[in-house]
Amino acid sequence: MSGRRRHPARPWTARWTLTWRILAVNILTVLILALGVIYLDAFRNKLSKERIHRTEREAQISAIMARMLPARDRARALAEVGKSTGSRIRLYGADNRVFNNYVAGTTGTGYDSALSIDGGDAGPGGELNKHHRVDNAVVVFNTLVDNATGIVIGENYPEPPVNLVVENNLLADSGDVREVKAPSGGSLANNTVGTKSALGLTDTGPAWKLTAGSPEIDKAVGRYDFVTTDFEGRPRDGAKDVGADEHES
């Protein structure tokens, strides 16, 4: 009488049918991909925070430097800092006021436009690593000189700015006010576009400024009570001039 023969232990691979093995490989692939996405997302958040921190530090260093310099040297020093870092303005988020800025000599386009009021891919209060839609921004009394672009609206992400005011800006040899996506509500008025000579600007060294004959003197519209000085701290009494500079008569 012969007893039942014991089978030798089969390797684990033989215990899994082909179907299960294929399924396992596929699940593993998806799992690795998911972990990769989570890792990249965390990495991107960290990068965003570091960039915000670096920008804050640059602003603080510039502020300290400006405070220590005599008033007559401030504009020139800040202009040099701006040129060396290729600084330009790109705007996201709610309730920003952008005024009295002087942007000169930038060569970038697209994301690096001189003054980009960008589209958004998230609403107000959205995820930190997204580009929050520009809501209620007031962009006034800025001067752009010799830039490859001017003021560009809604260029990169799908949601156009909401309730946007762009007024009293001076664009000298700096493109135009270009609406890639038209903002929803607000006002785009009284921005002057022209050549430096047509706008009556003269090169004072640190910046191009209005001359006595400039057609931009006293031509600003609206009240804008929060704009009490020009970009060099000179008071803006009476009728305001278009752009960042208030001409001293």
Please report whether residue 176 would count as binding Ca ion according to CB under 5 A.
no
Of 71-79, 86-94, 128-136, 241-249, which segment contacts Ca ion by CB under 5 A? 241-249
The least CB distance from residue 99 to Ca ion, in Å, is 15
- Residue 165 token pair: 């005011």
Using CB under 5 A, which of 41, 56, 218, 248 touches Ca ion? 218
Please, which residue, 176 or 218, has the CB nearer to Ca ion?
A: 218
> Least distance from C-beta 247 to Ca ion, angstroms?
6
Which range of residues in 30-38, 67-75, 102-110, 231-239 is near Ca ion by CB under 5 A? 231-239
* Candidate list 167, 230, 232, 241; residue touching Ca ion; CB under 5 A: 241
Q: Which two tokens stand for residue 45?
A: 């958040």
Instruction: Evaluate whether 214 touches 200 at the Cβ level (below 8 Å).
Output: yes
> Minimum CB separation from Ca ion for residue 236, in Å?
7
Per CB under 5 A, 50 contacts Ca ion: no
Told to check if 118 binds Ca ion by CB under 5 A, we report: no
Contact string 177-216 vs Ca ion (x = CB under 5 A): ----------------------------------------
> For the chain, what is the HEC assignment?
CCCCCCCCCCCHHHHCCHHHHHHHHHHHHHHHHHHHHHHHHHHHHHHHHHHHHHHHHHHHHHHHHHHHCCHHHHHHHHHHHHHHHCCCEEECCECCEEECCEEECCCCCHHHCCEEECCECECCCCCCCCCECCECCEEECCEEECCCCCEEECCCCCECCEEEEEECCEEECCCCEEECCCCEEEEEECCEEECCCCCCEEECCCCEEECCCCCCCCCCCCCCCCCCECCCCCECCCCCCCCCCCCCC
Cβ distance to Ca ion smaller for residue 159 or 241: 241
Token digits of residue 37: 């996405």
Q: How far is the CB of 159 from Ca ion (least distance, A)?
A: 37
Report phi then psi at 134, rounded to 5: -80, 110
**Taking Cα atoms as reference points, which of 88, 78, 91, 144 lies closest to residue 120?**
91
The nearer residue to Ca ion, 143 or 149, going by C-beta atoms, is 143
Nearer to Ca ion, 54 or 234 (CB): 234
Q: What span, in angstroms and rounded, lies between the C-alpha atoms of 57 and 67?
A: 15
Please give the size of the binding site for Ca ion, defined by CB under 5 A: 3
Min dist CB 174 to Ca ion, Å, is 22
Q: Which is nearer to Ca ion, 151 or 217 (CB)?
A: 217
Footprint of Ca ion on this chain (CB under 5 A)? 218, 239, 241
